[in-house]
A and B are shown apart, each in its own frame.
Chain A
Amino acid sequence: MSDEHTVKPGDCISAIAFAAGLPWATVWNHPRNTALKQKRQNPNILAEGDIVHVPDLESKQESRGTDQRHRFMVRGGPTRLRLRIMGPPPPRSGSTGADGERARRRNEPLRYLAYVLDVDGQLQRGTTDGSGLIECTIRPNARDGRLVLEPGTEREFSIALKLGELEPVEAMRGVQARLNNLGFHCGRVDGILGPRTHRALRRFQSSVGLRVTGEADATTRNRLRDAHDSA
């Protein structure tokens, strides 16, 4: 029997489909999810309370000869985690110290940086690529991760990753999470447009050349999404 799933923190189409034994595209492209698809655009960034229609599993019969090996492909491919590690945002007025070389490294991908990534106990070691990218295959319902940059050095830095908890930029929590990830710290992701979020928005707007208002208008949200979500 088909079902309606109400999105909770940490949910996304990949995780919901995985739980139902379906490829993510089968759920996302189902006609009853057309409105959601138009609203959210990205199957892996849903808002708490969104309703997802989960279709029934359908059986499919394929005739193949016996005593032979056959390959069956699952549509959609594996779910991945893709992180791009960048230098910090440009200095705000009055930040503590900068010199030429360090200033040049700001806002640029951190290339060939050693890291250890642990997602639900699956450990991956490596270095970021030439674009500052870290990429790995994960279970569609993986929830927790930990990224350690420059492990074992004085500069070791650890980040707890909450997988699937990035909300759409249309939601204030989505704005705040992106500001925090991009180094424009706005405090706790609580969905409230308070003084710290206003200040972080002003800094972000200033850094990308937008009119500095401290408001989360549509232009700012779009730039924020581009800066965070896109290559």
Chain B
Amino acid sequence: MGEAEARVARTAGGLTHLNTLAPAVVRLRLFDPFTGPMPRARYRVTLADRTIEGHADAAAWVEFRVLEIPETCVVEWDDDEAPALVVDDPDPPPGSRPESPAEKYIDPAWVGPVAEPPTAVTDTYRYKQEVYLELEMDDEEAAFRRLHNLGFTLGETLKEHIREFEKAYDRMAAGELRGVQDTLWDWHDTGGVSRCTRPRALA
């Protein structure tokens, strides 16, 4: 996919033909691992044809236009003021911070001849996730994609993802789609996600 393209008509003198362009808007809300919104978070969105960088708004929303909605994009984000290269806390509270690519770079185990450390501070982000933008499909796949977008990606089956979601919110881990479907759709599609009690696995 190259630059967005629109086929339009010229308008002969004296006529009134219009070409209406209504680019689609993709909106994403950026959260920390406990699904707390991250106002003004730094972000980078990588699409097939371009990269968009900037800061989320005061409510942690990111918004950008596309003429074609791709199936996925890659989103990287971080606190606005956070140093790009995070020094590992030697004794972090259990599960308080998921491992991220930025942290991997400074872990001696990962800095080797083939793993170059980032050269520019602005090139690194604490969190990284592939996000599904195409969500029109059967309920199970749509649920899988929403759970993935919300960071519930451990395990291989939908049932496992649902259980992970349920555990994060101290629900009984039944793993049944019908038990979470309304909440999942509502939270994902409105960005009004409740804070979870266990962190999600971002990046």
Contacts and interface: CB of A to CB of B under 8 A. Distances in A.
Contacts of B14: 25, 76-77
Interface of A: 12-15, 24-25, 28, 42-45, 76-89, 91-99, 102, 107, 133, 138, 140, 142, 145-147, 149, 154-155, 157-167, 177, 180-183, 185, 187, 189, 199, 227-231
**8 closest residue pairs by CB, A with B:** A77-B13, A154-B54, A94-B135, A86-B22, A97-B191, A157-B65, A165-B7, A177-B7
Nearest to A87: B22
Contacts of B6: 147, 159-162, 177, 180-181
A82 B21 CA distance: 11
B12 A181 contact: no
Interface stretch (B23-31, B112-120, B169-177, B194-202): B23-31
B109 interface: no
B23 to A, nearest CB: 6
A199 B142 CA distance: 16
Interface in B1-20: 2-20
Interface size class of B (residues with CB under 8 A): 35 or more
B21 A79 contact: no
Interface stretch (B82-90, B95-103, B160-168, B182-190): B182-190
Given A44-B15, A80-B13, A230-B18, A166 B25 contact: no
A128 to B, nearest CB: 11
Contacts of A102: 25, 27, 63
Contact of B10 (A81, A88, A96, A180): A81
B22 A138 contact: no
Contacts, number: 210
A45 B26 CA distance: 31
A140 B7 contact: no
B68 interface: yes
Contact of A142 (B10, B19, B28): B10
Contacts of B136: 92-94, 199
Nearest to A162: B7
Contacts of B135: 92, 94-96
A147 B19 CA distance: 13
Given A83-B19, A181-B20, A183-B23, A159 B67 contact: yes
B21 A159 contact: yes
A145 B21 CA distance: 14
B121 interface: no
